[in-house]
Structure 1
Amino acid sequence: MWLDEARSEPFITDLAVRPDLKRKGLARASLALLMASAPYHHAMLWRASVAGDNSAALALFAHLGWQRADRGGAADGMVDHQYLRPTLSQEGSDT
């Protein structure tokens, strides 16, 4: 993971799982562990950049509630995502 010092939010650039271990929940568990670890457990906004042809990663971020974040016609084939962590008052609410 790379932290963009200028923005101060965590920015995930690489998350890889060995081919023989894919589809076992390791990427999901790794993200959860990372997001809960110090010094990142208080970060409200997270960002990630995913290759546009990486359907498994795109599906993972979508399933975990990350939203696509348009960065104005990126020519590098990457799809930016962001995640805004719910506040404690929002967690578990139906509205």
Structure 2
Amino acid sequence: MNFIDFIIGALLVNAMPHLVFGLTKAHFLGLFGYSPKGNIAYAILQLIACCLIFYFNYGFDALLNNGIFMGGLTVLCLYFIFGKLLVGFYGKQKPE
């Protein structure tokens, strides 16, 4: 592992809380301020930067063969797709 791998992992992992805080409309400081849309945009920016750095450093074949990276990327992408639905569904349920 080298420093570039650390940066790739940090960008990928840091995108998730910004996405979650953006979808739940919580005020959390990101690159674009405290707004929910700013946090979602920051999560997208981090995801793109992470994938580009990985691609230019290792290539596309290495991306598909790295199970840890693909697992993290899959979880983040699924939350991009289903996150708003899940927040809406679980946000409407009454506590027992």
TM bucket by the smaller chain? Answer: 0.3 to 0.5
Greater share of strand? 1
TM-score (norm 1): 0.32
TM-score (norm 2): 0.32
